[in-house]
Structure formats: structure tokens, C-alpha cells
Structure 1
Amino acid sequence: MSAQGHANGYVDPNWPDPNGSQDAPVIIYGYLPSFALAVFAVLLFTLSLVLHAYQIIRYRTIYLATIPIALILELLGYIFRSLSARQDPYSVIWFVLQYFFIVTAPVFLSAAIYGVLSVLVNKVGRQYSPIPPKVLLGVFISSDAVMTVVQICGAAMIGAAESKTKDPTTGKNILMIGLIVQVVSFFVFLILLGIFLSKSKKVLWDQQGKKAFIVALVSATVLVYLRTCFRLAEVAQGVKAYLFTHEDFFACLEFAPIAGAMVMFNIFHPGRFLRKEAGEAIEATSEEVKG
């Protein structure tokens, strides 16, 4: 599809000039979003959602309830993205909403990953973990939650500035702060995960079927981290720079990593491998409360 430049950003000659009260004078995405990608994402995340809901009920893994929440948010994000692609790519509201849902969703996926590690630590032994499971959950979930709010505020400010053809630098800086802290925080988590897996290697890998699950857990965690690093690089370049204005990067480094992690947890669902571990983790928590 052809495109043309604009003094303040991207416009598409195949779409009429924006005239709605909620329209920006340019397409904030920097391109016309792919309707095919949005529809494919909706279908894939819907299938994954149905499977995850079934697996959580079947294996009674309530600590993974944040994954369906993440999938619902992804669905909403790509639905609004599809509306941008087919009805009005200039709409500021649809841009902000799709960004809000797609940026927020991985936080709930990360929370599930933190929960899985917490269960593993409780089962295998706390002596293998640098920090207690409760501290791990509290610190990283709180950090993700706060930094996601910061990112959403920054993105909203960017959208508002672009809609009025004003300088989005303030919003960009706020968004950058949230992403930098999130990248550093998740990197620390990766280190803690690596230490735990290294120290408990003999215990974990001797158990039947655990190798494939551990590889899947690490792979999913790295995919989420890759996606976060991409978002940081994208914002660091700027909303009108190469990474932001080319959807191929979004598809390969935003959609694909999260979709891959979700599907990986469908195939190697923690409930199949940690059923006893989850029960023992609950028992251990109950004993601590009683004590």
C-alpha cells in the first residue's frame, strides 16, 4: 500500500483526511496497521485463552489465573488495532486503547511466571533460591504494576501530543523511565531464575518430565524479556523513528514473543508438571500462617 509523508508524521493517501473530533492529523502508528495480523492475533489468543481456562480448571492451578487475564487484554488490544486498520487509522482513542491493552497484558503473563518460580522454590527447597518466594512475588509484581502504569501514562501523553501536533518528548521520557526500570527488574529476575535453576539442577532434572518443562519456562521468560527490550529500544528511537514506524518489528518482537510464550505454556502447562508441587506449596504456606 502506498504512503506519503507529512510535515508532522505519516498519512495514507488511500484514506480520506481525518475529520473526526477524536482523530489525529497523522496516523500515530507510523503506518496503516495490518488487519490480517490483528485478526490472526485475535484468533490465536482466543484459542489459547480457551485452552488455558480449561487447563487451569483441570489442573487446579489458580496461581496461573493471570494468564487468561493477559490473554483477554491481548484480545482487546488487537480488536482495537483491527478497528484502526479497517475503520479509522487516525483515531487517537483506538491507538491509545490498543496500546494500553497490549502493553498491560505481558505484566499478567510475567506474574504467572513469577508464580511458577515461587511454586518451584517451595517444592525443591528455599535453600536454592537467593530470596524467599513471597518476597520474590511481592517485589517483582509490584515493580511491574507500577512501571506499567507509568508506561501507560507516558503513552497517553504521546498520543495526546501527536493528536495536537505538539512535542511528545515529555510523554516519551515518562514512557522511557517505566520501560528502563521494567527491563532492569526483569533482568534481575532472570539472574535469580538462573541461580535457582543452577543450584537445584540435580534435584529438578532428575525428576521425570521436568527437563522439557524447565526449558519451556526459561524460553517463555526470555521471550517476554525480549519483548520488553524491544519496547525500550523502540521508545528510545522515538515515535517517528524506524522501529516504531515499521510494523514488521511489532509483529516479530511484540506479537510473536508473547504469542510464543502463551502457546508454550499451553503445550508445557505448569499444571501437568507441578501438580504435586502446587499442592505442597499451598500446604507449606498454610503451615507458615499457622506457625
Structure 2
Amino acid sequence: MTTPDESLYIGCKAHVDGIQTSYGYVPSKAAGIAFCMLFGLSMIAHIAQLCWKRTWVYSVFAIGCLVELIGWAGRTWSAECPYNSTAFLIQISTLIIAPTFFTAGIYVLLGRLIRLYGRECSILSPKLYLWIFCTCDVVSLVIQAAGGGMASSESNNKGDTAPGTNTMVAGIAFQLFSITAFVVCAIDVFRRVKRLGMLSMATKGPLRPLLAAMVLSVICIYIRSIYRTIELAQGWHGYLITHQSYFIGLDGVLMVIAVGVFNICHPRWLLPSEVDFTLPKHRPSESSQSETLNLNTMTGFKGYGNNK
């Protein structure tokens, strides 16, 4: 293989046979444009939804879409300029960070559900979910950023990139651990709801598609985290990182689903207000359930206007 000249990584140079790119392949321009459009449309929809309903707390979904858009724009740039180091660094940094905003939105959602179900349904308070797990995500990103900086510096100086790569692996593995801990806590919430005999009531009406959207989004993010952990563990010349189809399917597609599902099942439309939705503090009898729960709220959208 031909030894590349350093000037090749500056400006825009066409692909040269025998000289490998930083990706191990030339990124697909069609895929780059497609994902830019998908994340762009989702971002616009989320902005419109949060402005319309004034639910600013869910702006994290729009921010995550913006970060994904920047990352895929970097890959589209790389399709034309496959050796450009700036384009490569843009996409690798943003596409690792973006899912953190999606998980933050899910943390907020679980906190809102706990407020509806009652504090006794969770081992942690709603605020603690956001603080603990968002802090874990930030720590993970700092570790990954430090590792990426180390690896990039060594790569530019033709040094050993292994320490930086291992640091990045530790960061994303920690993120995977924190997501796993969150899933365990979420399962515990519904276990407690079931133990109190309120599971069927707590998943009725519009809450059902919202819960399904949360589960789908978490599954997508979890699978993507496993993929990225294995990818980085294999190193910069590993099988996964040098085959584009895995990245498109296990990162791009999964992240479109993870955030796009909340355009369809937006929390502001499906979450009832705490005034309209109050679960009983004891196990209700079948005959008294309709008296305890406001069925108008649980079977339709009437009365949701007060949920901020």
C-alpha cells in the first residue's frame, strides 16, 4: 500500500487507489444525504412540536437531531473528500455524542411517569433519575473525548493509538453500563406498579403507545451502544469499523427510529396531567377502578392541556 502524503488530509482530494482512508472505505454520499434529510426532518418536527405545545424540556430530542445532522453532514463531506481529517473528526465526535440527548429525553419521561404513578413506585425520585443518569452520560462523553484526543494526537504523530482507543472503549462501556442501570430501574418501577395491583390502569389509553415508544427507543439505543463498544474494542482497523453497512444499520437507522418514534408518539400529546391522572394508593377492586381513575383522560386526549 502506498504511503500517504500528509497534504492528502488537507483540503479535498479524490480517492486514490491503494491509499486507505481513515474510515477504511469511502463513505456513501447517498447514505449521508438520506440521513441528513431524516434527522433534519425529525429536528424540524420536534422544534415545531415543542414550540406549539411549549414543552421546552423535550428540546433535547431536537438538539440530538441537530448533532446527528452535523455528524452525517461530516460523512457526506467525506464522501467527496475521503481523506479530509476535519470531516472525519466532525462525524466521529458528533455521532458518538448525539444519542446522549435522546437518553436524556427518556430520563425526563420516566420521571414524569413516576410523578403520575406516585413516589412509592420508584426507588429514586424523578429528579434523581435525570441528575444521576445524565451525569453518567456526561462522564462517559468526557472519557470518550479524552480518549479520542489521545488517539487523534498519536495518529497524527504516527504513534501508538492503543491507549487512546482503550480510553474511548472504557467511556462507551461506562455509557452502556449506565443505560443498563437505567433499564433495571425502569423495570423496577413497573414491577412496583404491578405489585400494587395498578399495572393495567397505569398502561391504559394514550399512555400505552408512549410506553411502547420509550421501550422501542431504549432498545435501539442499547443495541447501538453494544455495537459501538464492540466496534471500538476491535480498534481503528477492525472488521466492524471498516465495513460501512454495519454503521448505517446499527447506528444511523437505529438512531432515526430512536428519535423519530417520539415525533409520532410525542409525550406532550400522550401524557395526562397529574390532576387528571391519579392512581389509588391501595389495591383497587375491579368495581371501584372506574371511580378512582378518570376514564375520559385515559381513553382520549381531553384534559391534557394542563401538562407542562
Fold in common (TM above 0.5):
yes
Instruction: Give, in angstroms, the shift of residue 19 of structure 1.
Output: 2.3
1:215 aligns with 2:190: no
Report if the CA contact (8 A) 2:36-2:73 is conserved: yes
1:204 lines up with 2:192 in the alignment:
no
Separation of aligned partners in 2, 1:278 and 1:267:
25
Q: Deviations over 1:24-61 (max 9, x none)?
A: 97411111111111100110111111111111122222
Aligned equivalents of 1:151, 1:279: Cα separation in 2: 43
2:29 counterpart (18, 25, 35): 35
TM-superposed CA distance for 1:278, in Å, is 10
1:139 is aligned to 2:132? yes
Q: 8 Å contact 2:67–2:94 — kept in the other structure? A: yes
1:262 pairs with 259, 263, 270, which one? Answer: 259
Give, in angstroms, the shift of residue 179 of structure 1: 1.0
Aligned to 1:3: none
**Aligned residue runs from structure 1 range 16-95, under 5 A:** 19-20=7-8, 22=10, 26-86=20-80, 88-95=81-88
Measure the CA separation in 2 of the matches of 1:48 and 1:21. 33
Change (3 A) 1:67 1:214: same
- Please name the residue that 1:151 is paired with: 144
- The letter for the 1-side match of 2:148 is A
Contact 2:78 2:87 in 1 (8 A): yes
Task: Report the CA distance between 1:222 and its aligned residue.
Answer: 1.2
Shift in CA distance, 96/278, structure 1 to aligned 2, threshold 3 Å? farther
The amino acid across from 2:212 in the alignment is V
1:252 to 245, 249, 253: 249
Residues 128 and 196 in structure 1, CA contact (< 8 A), matched pair in contact too: yes
Of 206, 230, 253 in structure 1, the residue corresponding to residue 227 of structure 2 is 230
Distance in 2 (CA, whole Å) between partners of 1:33 and 1:185 is 31
AA aligned to 1:27 is: T
Amino acid corresponding to residue 111 of structure 2 in structure 1: S
Gaps of 5+ in 1: 1-5, 12-16, 281-291
Measure, in 2, the Cα distance between the counterparts of 1:270 and 1:107: 18
Q: Report the secondary structure of 2:236's partner residue.
A: coil
Identity in percent: 29
Count of residue correspondences? 266
Q: How big is each residue's C-alpha offset from its partner over 1:154-210, in whole Å with a ceiling of 9 and x where there is no partner?
A: 2233233334433210111110110111111110101111111233223312x3222
Higher relative contact order (CA 8 A, sep 6+): 1
Q: TM-score, normalised by structure 1?
A: 0.85
Residues 197 and 245 of structure 1: is their aligned pair in 2 closer, same or farther, counting only changes over 3 Å? same
Return the alpha-carbon distance in structure 2 between the equivalents of residues 197 and 266 of structure 1: 24
Distance 2:137 2:9 in 1: 34
Native 8 Å contact 1:33 1:89 kept in 2:
yes
- Could you tell me how far apart the structure 2 residues matched to 1:29 and 1:138 are? 35
The residue matched to 1:27 in structure 2 has which SS? coil
CA-CA distance at 1:85 after TM superposition: 0.8
Q: Are residues 279 and 102 of structure 1, via their aligned partners in 2, closer, same or farther at CA, if it must alter by over 3 Å?
A: farther
2:300 alignment counterpart: none
TM-score normalised by length of structure 2: 0.81
Equivalence for 2:167: 174
* Secondary structure of 2:273 counterpart: helix
Distance 1:138 1:180 in 2: 20
Structure 2: tracts of 5 or more residues without a match: 14-18, 194-198, 278-308
Cα offset for 1:103?
1.0
